[in-house]
Amino acid sequence: MTIKHVIAASSAMALLAFPAVAEPTAEVLHWWTSGGEAKSVAVLQEQFKERGGVWTDMPVAGGGGDAAMTALRARVLSGNPPTAVQLKGPAIQEWYEEGVLADISDVAEEQHWGDVLPAQIAEHMKCDGHWCAAPVNVHRVNWIWGNKKILDDNGIAMPTTWEEFNAAAEKLKAAGITPLAHGGQAWQDATVFETVVLGMGGPEFYQKALVDLDMDALGSDTMIKVFDEMRVLRGFVDENYPGRDWNLATAMVMNGEAAFQIMGDWAKGEFLAAGKKPGVDFTCAATPGHGFLYNVDSFAMFDVGDDADKVAGQKLLAELIVAPSFQETFNLNKGSIPVRTDVSLDKFDDCAKLSSKDMNADAKDGSLLPSYAHGMALRGEPAGAITDVVTAHFNSDMTSEEAVKQLQDAVANAM
């Protein structure tokens, strides 16, 4: 053996002993801290670890993610962003414009995301034509959850119009039952508000008012009626509502302390995590009116330069998130439905099946609409301006006329 051969053999052995394979690592910022949410994100964590990944968890409690987004801003400003972040809708574009997002097109193309995701949803995941976020699920926002026993005992069916809802709530109130479990946090007020806008105004009105920010729609008589209904709803919540977390409001329905909650289907994740069964312990129905407000959770990867471990972690996460097995297990826990069109719903309950059926039907006639309250329809500034007015109105004696005027002014200033 020549000296050249010896060197070649020993360097080959060195390579074998220390293979230059990156160890996938990820620091993941998310706001999934309630019972059902934590159970759901644990699925991703487990699958990541099974594939050799090292997961650093960065949970920031606070439904709707406002606190998580504040934490994200602080981390990015300090030049040290987390590697993967729960981020959605136009906020993805806003961060992309800051030049801090990674391109994950190689994973998306390898895994054929373009073939398995609905076009409208895929659009949210793209920045200037390339893939910059991985979608997790489709949550429907416009749901009413009911305590089955309370409704049966009081001879109440799930309401199909807002008049029916009000009548049922009056009846419950007279019987000494809190009709509506609600948490007085701005994003929860906004969640209820957008379902009323959709229900009372219809899909076209919703699109004009909360997506296109059309001044006539924002200042219309229909919008006055929406605020009137918000005032009526305010009369159906208990006096301890201020500041209450959404999952505690869900627990009130679960425990028979209240009859209804208006909330997206992450609430179903709470019922299920507590062992409650749809159709037996609780009931689901779309909020009165026609249409589907969607809220798609997704993860964006922040630019980590050429750190091989972090890049490997981002690619692995993106691959897992959209893969069929994660989509099924995660969404069974989360209350949402898979975002992929090729995952069977056989194991899913009737609420999920209704969601999927309505989504597909509503996609055909323009009534599949992005949720403004959950950051799918608008950029941060106009969305925040609307929410400020909605919550100011809900928590005061402001008239509907005044609210509508403030709404127009706030939106005009935010554009």
Interaction site with ligand GAL (CB under 6 A): 31-32, 37, 63-65, 139, 246, 266, 295, 297, 374
Between 65 and 179, whose beta carbon lies closer to ligand GAL?
65
Residue 30 corresponds to which tokens in the numbers above? Answer: 């998310």
Long-range pairs for 357-366: beta carbons < 8 A, 24 or more residues apart: 358/140, 358/286, 358/292, 359/138, 359/140, 359/292, 359/294, 362/203, 362/290, 362/291, 362/292, 363/118, 363/120, 365/203, 366/203, 366/204, 366/207
CB of 295 to ligand GAL, least distance (A): 5
Give the nearer residue to ligand GAL in terms of CB position, either 146 or 264. 264
Q: Tokens 């439905």 belong to which residue?
A: 337
Q: Considering beta carbons, is residue 25 or 295 the nearer one to ligand GAL?
A: 295
Task: Give helix 400-414 / helix 380-394 axis angle, nearest 10°.
Answer: 160
The least distance separating ligand GAL from the CB of residue 141, rounded to whole angstroms, comes to 9
- For 401, the token pair is 């006329």
Which residue do the tokens 């053996």 mark?
1
**Closest CB to ligand GAL: residue number:** 63
Give the nearest distance from C-beta 321 to ligand GAL in angstroms: 13
DSSP-H helix ranges across 18-65: 35-50
> Which CB atom, from 62 or from 201, has the smaller least distance to ligand GAL?
62
Q: Least distance in Å: CB of 246 to ligand GAL?
A: 6
User: Cβ of residue 298: shortest distance to ligand GAL, in angstroms?
Assistant: 9
Is residue 245 classed as helix, strand or coil in its secondary structure?
coil
Closest C-alpha among 305, 284, 317, 257 to residue 47: 317
CB nearer to ligand GAL: give 25 or 391.
Answer: 391
Question: In the structure encoding, which two tokens stand for residue 318, read together?
Answer: 């993106």
Q: Which is nearer to ligand GAL, 264 or 382 (CB)?
A: 264
CB 116 within 8 A of CB 343: no
Residue 359 corresponds to which tokens in the numbers above?
Answer: 């989504």
Least separation, in Å, of the C-beta of 34 and ligand GAL?
7
* DSSP for residue 287: P
Q: How far is the CB of 87 from ligand GAL (least distance, A)?
A: 11
Closer residue to ligand GAL (CB): 123 or 221: 123
CB contact at 8 A, 259 and 180 = yes
Q: Which is nearer to ligand GAL, 143 or 162 (CB)?
A: 143
Give least dist CB 64 to ligand GAL, A. Answer: 5
- Give all strands (DSSP E) within 3-98, no chain letters: 25-30, 54-59, 84-86
